[in-house]
């Protein structure tokens, strides 16, 4: 690791010795392994403030209406903050986010954090270059109850403060927040609640950025989050009762750094590094009493995961009149360490046996090392034509039977038909296509902050919904040989200088993945030894049709932003070993609206799912995701807005889209 860091530092230092010239990156979007031209992908961008007036503990709860609710779960979204993938986006506050870009492109599958049908969301954090202090505060509180029971309501609280200052040469800031959320629990004749399931989250962020030696931009981010979650209840039986309590505490530390340099002749270089440390402590305590019997059980589990990543991207960008050429080579090294400890202590006594004590312990540890190399080349003509091709090569120094070294090529192109005829045409008709050989490389998705949601709903199965109490990292499955062939085609129609945009996207892929293959684990990579299971293979065919319409309208003082999205998804899975075939065809829709009339603001979001397979057959469900209304005020140097909000005031009780919680509250944002 030291040699790698030294090499990257030497390369960067060497580049800094050269004469430099500025370049603009506004025409590109930064993905984790390469950049793409903005004109080459179907995307749309909203401001972070569009999501700042609804309560949520998980970012996916806020963006479902924008990307389709069935695709907004934590396992199907990859988040990129300021050009770098993040394992858990919830370490940031929405009040620190400047803009959010939703991408629809087949190339996103090669970022390394996605599977075949996932989406990518790019977030840009705020940067203060005004040369004066900016202070911001936000607070909201709400009553929380359940739509499917008469459980006693609780309270939701969320507070955020931030301070920033600086210029283009040097800017810095800090942010801190507190969040309290809870899950109302109904009581029955046999279930007595002692304390509701609730969580307290404490967050702190700091950042430092700027320019040195004229053409080198640097950025340093640090985030620390600690979260506590607990509940207690009593189960009553005719001749016994049991008191149970659960407690979990998450710790997350994330440090990111990057240096981006531009050089004479269109050359550039970016060095970046990331450190992610996750630590969870949890226990379950149970006290049992019955006629002639008493017992006490304590189970503790403690997973720890550390993820180191360092990379370098060398790039070239050149403009030749109407033509441009861009190329890059990205090299990344990632090292993951995982440890897990378990302790179970039990004591019980009966009338014939005064006391019996049992103690059991378990420990496991493993690690993974991987290199990723991604060369790309991009050619275009103004905003008319764009073509991009490249590959992602994966090298596993600790190679096993299911850790294959492989190369995944890809290609993409887009072309504006109408602007090729008339460059000044107010109407744009752009065609998109891409094809990629990809593989399951979920570098992210494990070791996230625990979530309160434990209830099954229409969109997600129980295993994906329940709180992940322990890190689910397994290097044998993380880089298992899952192969995809992904094709995507699309068309975008833009009217009135893109005030009205209609997007259609078609995705198709086929994957073949082994389940419980025969492999041998070498000593030192885990515990060593061999595992032998009959090989099973899953073949999945997946197609998705997406239609989205976004419109911005200004009528006098009224501004209306509306985005409507509909997906038709077909999935078919064949399991060769058991000869089992499962199918699912369904629609999912979302409609987001933001109205501004002078100083007044209104937001309304609705989602729906139709023909979705669920327990007992196929069903449909519609939910009103959130409504907020507020007004902005300005007095001298102080600006603030007050608002009232409700989250999921209406949801299908029998086939819910969400977790049946209802929020009704008020909030205030203030800036100096």
Helix (H, G, I), strand (E, B) or coil at 352: coil
Chain-centre distance of CA 361, in angstroms?
A: 34
φ/ψ (deg, to 5) at 15: -65, -35
Residue 11 has pLDDT above 50, yes or no: no
Q: Mind listing the pLDDT tens digit for each residue in 31-86?
A: 888 888 787 888 888 888 888 888 788 887 788 788 765 554 445 677 889 888 88
Specify the pLDDT at position 24: 35
Specify the pLDDT at position 16: 35
Confidence of residue 493 (pLDDT cuts 50, 70, 90): very high
Spatial contact of 198 and 182, defined as CB atoms under 8 Å apart: yes
φ/ψ (deg, to 5) at 378: -135, 130
Q: Which two tokens stand for residue 94?
A: 């929405």
Residue range 312-323: average pLDDT?
Answer: 90
Specify the pLDDT at position 105: 62
Q: Domains plus CATH for the chain?
A: 27-466+481-521+535-671 (2.40.170.20)
Q: Mind listing the pLDDT tens digit for each residue in 422-462?
A: 888 888 899 998 888 776 554 654 677 777 654 333 343 32
Concatenated DSSP letters of 455-499 = ---SSS-HHHHS---S----HHHHT---EEEEEEEEEEEEETTTT
Q: Which of 24-28, 281-285, 480-484, 604-608 has the highest mean pLDDT?
A: 604-608
φ/ψ (deg, to 5) at 87: -75, -35
**Least confident segment among 170-179, 235-244, 356-365, 491-500:** 235-244
Give the C-alpha distances (Å, rounded to integers) separating 209 from 127, 220, 256, 558: 9, 6, 12, 37
Q: Which two tokens stand for residue 195?
A: 């304390």
Specify the pLDDT at position 136: 93
Give 434's Cβ-side CA count (13 Å radius).
33
- DSSP letter at 238? T
Residue 383 has pLDDT above 60, yes or no: yes
Residue range 335-341: average pLDDT?
Answer: 85
Specify the pLDDT at position 637: 85
Specify the pLDDT at position 289: 75
**Least confident segment among 208-217, 253-262, 515-524, 654-663:** 515-524
Q: Is the dihedral of CA 11, 314, 217, 307 positive or negative?
A: negative
**Least confident segment among 389-393, 484-488, 553-557:** 484-488
Specify the pLDDT at position 467: 30
**Least confident segment among 278-282, 431-435, 585-589, 614-618:** 614-618
Residue 479 has pLDDT above 50, yes or no: no
Concatenated DSSP letters of 153-164 = PEEEEEEEEEEE
Burial 265-286 (b: 16+ CB within 10 A, else e): ebbbbbbbbbebbbbbbbbbbb
Q: Mind listing the pLDDT tens digit for each residue in 175-232?
A: 999 999 988 877 666 666 667 788 999 999 999 999 998 889 999 999 999 999 888 7
Q: How many residues does the chain have?
A: 672
Question: Which has more pLDDT, 231 or 592?
Answer: 592
Residue range 544-573: average pLDDT?
Answer: 86
Question: Which has more pLDDT, 110 or 187?
Answer: 187
Alpha-carbon distance of 415 to 44, in angstroms, equals: 18
- DSSP letter at 60? H
**Which residue(s) pair with 122 in the sheet?**
80, 101
Specify the pLDDT at position 512: 60
Burial 484-512 (b: 16+ CB within 10 A, else e): bebebebbbbbeeeeebbebbbbbbbbbe
Specify the pLDDT at position 168: 87
Specify the pLDDT at position 209: 93
Q: Which two tokens stand for residue 294?
A: 């008493």
φ/ψ (deg, to 5) at 379: -130, 140
Mean pLDDT score of the chain: 77
Concatenated DSSP letters of 616-657 = TEEEEEEEEEEEEEEEEEEETTEEEEEEEEEEEEE--SSS-S
Alpha-carbon distance of 26 to 47, in angstroms, equals: 17
**Least confident segment among 226-235, 486-495, 573-582:** 573-582
Q: Which of 230-234, 399-403, 465-469, 586-590 has the highest mean pLDDT?
A: 586-590
Residue range 134-140: average pLDDT?
Answer: 93
Q: Mind listing the pLDDT tens digit for each residue in 626-642?
A: 999 999 999 888 898 99
């Amino acid at each position: 690791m030291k040699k790698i860091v030294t090499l990257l530092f030497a390369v960067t230092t060497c580049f800094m010795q050269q004469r430099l010239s500025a370049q603009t990156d506004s025409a590109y979007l930064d993905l984790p392994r390469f950049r793409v031209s903005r004109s080459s992908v179907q995307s749309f961008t909203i401001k972070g403030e569009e999501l700042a007036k609804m309560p949520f503990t998980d970012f996916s709860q806020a963006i479902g209406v924008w990307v389709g609710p069935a695709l907004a779960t934590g396992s199907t979204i990859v988040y990129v903050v300021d050009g770098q993938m993040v394992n858990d986006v919830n370490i940031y506050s929405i009040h620190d986010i400047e803009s959010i870009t939703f991408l629809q492109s087949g190339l996103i599958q090669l970022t390394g954090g996605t599977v075949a049908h996932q989406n990518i969301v790019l977030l840009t954090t705020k940067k203060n270059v005004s040369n004066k202090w900016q202070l911001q505060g936000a607070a909201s509180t709400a009553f929380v109850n359940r739509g499917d029971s008469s459980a006693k309501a609780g309270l939701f609280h969320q507070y955020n403060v931030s301070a920033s200052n600086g210029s283009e040469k040097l800017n810095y800031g800090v942010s801190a927040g507190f969040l309290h959320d809870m899950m109302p629990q109904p009581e029955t004749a046999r279930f007595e609640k002692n304390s509701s399931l609730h969580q307290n989250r404490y967050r702190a962020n700091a950042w430092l950025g700027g320019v040195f030696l004229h053409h080198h931009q640097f950025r340093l981010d640090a985030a620390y989050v600690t979260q506590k979650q607990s509940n207690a209840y009593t189960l009553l039986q005719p001749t016994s009762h049991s008191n149970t309590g659960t407690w979990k505490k998450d710790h997350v530390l994330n440090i990111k750094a990057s240096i981006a340099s531009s050089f004479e002749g269109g050359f550039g270089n970016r060095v970046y590094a990331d450190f992610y440390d996750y630590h969870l402590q949890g226990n379950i305590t149970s006290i049992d009493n019955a006629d002639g019997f008493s017992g006490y059980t304590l189970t503790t589990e403690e997973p720890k995961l550390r993820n180191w990543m360092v990379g370098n991207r060398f790039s070239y960008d050149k403009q030749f009149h109407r033509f441009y050429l861009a190329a890059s080579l990205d090299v990344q090294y990632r090292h993951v360490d995982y440890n897990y400890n378990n302790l179970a202590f039990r004591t019980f006594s009966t009338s014939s046996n005064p006391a019996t004590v049992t103690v059991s312990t378990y420990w496991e540890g493993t690690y993974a090392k991987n290199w990723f190399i991604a060369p790309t080349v991009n050619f275009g003509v103004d905003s008319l034509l764009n073509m991009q091709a490249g590959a992602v090569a994966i090298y596993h120094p600790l190679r096993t039977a299911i850790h294959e070294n492989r190369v995944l090529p890809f290609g993409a192109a887009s072309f504006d038909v109408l602007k090729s005829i008339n460059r000044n045409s107010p109407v744009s008709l752009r065609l998109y296509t891409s094809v990629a050989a990809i593989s399951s490389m979920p570098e992210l998705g494990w070791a996230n902050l625990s979530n309160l949601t434990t209830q099954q709903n229409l969109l997600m199965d129980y295993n994906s919904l329940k709180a992940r109490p322990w890190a689910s990292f397994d290097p044998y499955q993380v880089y298992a040989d899952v192969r995809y062939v992904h094709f995507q085609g699309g068309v975008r129609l833009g009217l009135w200088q893109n005030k009205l945009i209609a997007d259609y996207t078609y995705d198709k892929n086929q994957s073949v993945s082994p389940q419980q293959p025969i492999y041998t684990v070498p000593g030192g990579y885990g515990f060593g030894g061999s595992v032998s299971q009959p090989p099973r293979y899953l073949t999945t065919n997946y197609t998705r049709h997406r239609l989205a319409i976004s419109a911005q309208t200004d009528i006098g003082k009224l501004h209306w932003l509306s985005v409507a999205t509909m997906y038709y998804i077909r999935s078919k899975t064949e399991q060769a070993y058991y000869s089992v075939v499962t199918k699912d065809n369904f629609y999912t829709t979302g409609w987001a609206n933001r109205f501004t009339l002078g100083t007044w603001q209104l937001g309304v979001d609705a989602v729906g799912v139709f023909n979705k397979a669920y327990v007992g057959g196929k069903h449909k469900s519609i939910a009103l995701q959130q409504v907020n209304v507020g007004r902005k005020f300005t007095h001298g140097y102080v600006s603030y807005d007050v608002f009232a909000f409700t989250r999921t005031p209406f949801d299908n009780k029998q086939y819910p889209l969400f977790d049946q919680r209802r929020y009704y509250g008020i909030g205030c944002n203030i800036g100096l």
